[in-house]
Amino acid sequence: MKLSIADLANVARGAAFLGTGGGGDPYIGRMLATSAIQEFGMPQIIEPHELDDDATVYTIAMLGAPTVLSEKGASGEDVDLAIKRIEQYMGKKADALIPIEIGGVNSMLPIMAAARQNLPLVNADGMGRAFPEIQMVTFNVYGVSCTPASITDEHLNSMVIETGSAKRAEDLVRVTSIEMGCSVIMSSYPLTGKQVKDYAVHGTLTMALEIGQAIERGRKEGEPVESLVNYLRTTPYYNQCKVIFDGKITDLRRETSEGFTQGHCLLSALDGSGKTLEVTFQNEFLIAKEDGVVRAIVPDLVCMVDRETAEPIPVDALKYGQRLKVLGVSAAPIMRTKESLAVFGPQAFGLDEEFVAIEDL
Q: What is the reported pLDDT for 182?
A: 78
- φ and ψ at residue 100, rounded to 5 degrees: -80, -30
CA distance 120 to 211: 23
Facing residues of 281 across strands? 263, 285
Query: Where do the domains of the chain lie?
Result: 5-202
Per the omega criterion (within 30 degrees of 0), is the bond before 299 cis?
Answer: yes
Closest CA to 60 of 112, 4, 132: 112
- The answer, yes or no, to whether residue 279 has pLDDT greater than 80, is yes
What's the pLDDT score for residue 303?
A: 97
> How much is the pLDDT for 132?
86
What pLDDT digit, counting tens, does each position of 240-255 carry?
999 999 999 999 999 8
Mean pLDDT for 21-35 is 84
DSSP 8-state symbol, 285:
E
Per-residue pLDDT at 290? 97
pLDDT, tens only, 174-231: 889 888 887 899 999 999 999 999 999 999 999 999 999 999 999 999 999 999 999 9
Inform me whether the pLDDT recorded for 276 exceeds 70. yes
Lowest mean pLDDT among 71-75, 189-193, 286-290, 304-308: 71-75
Q: What is the pLDDT of residues 220-237, one digit of tens each?
A: 999 999 999 999 999 999
Q: What is the mean pLDDT of residues 341-349?
A: 96
pTM for the model stands at 0.94
CA atoms within 13 A on the CB side of 351: 25
In CATH, which of 3.40.50.300, 3.30.565.10, 3.20.20.70, 3.40.1610.10 is domain 5-202?
3.40.1610.10
Distance CA 133, CA 123 (A): 22
Tens-digit pLDDT profile for residues 61-111: 988 766 666 677 788 999 999 999 999 999 999 999 999 999 888 899 999
Other C-beta atoms lying within 10 Å of the C-beta of residue 315: 27
The answer for residues whose C-beta is within 8 angstroms of residue 91's C-beta and 6 or more apart is: none
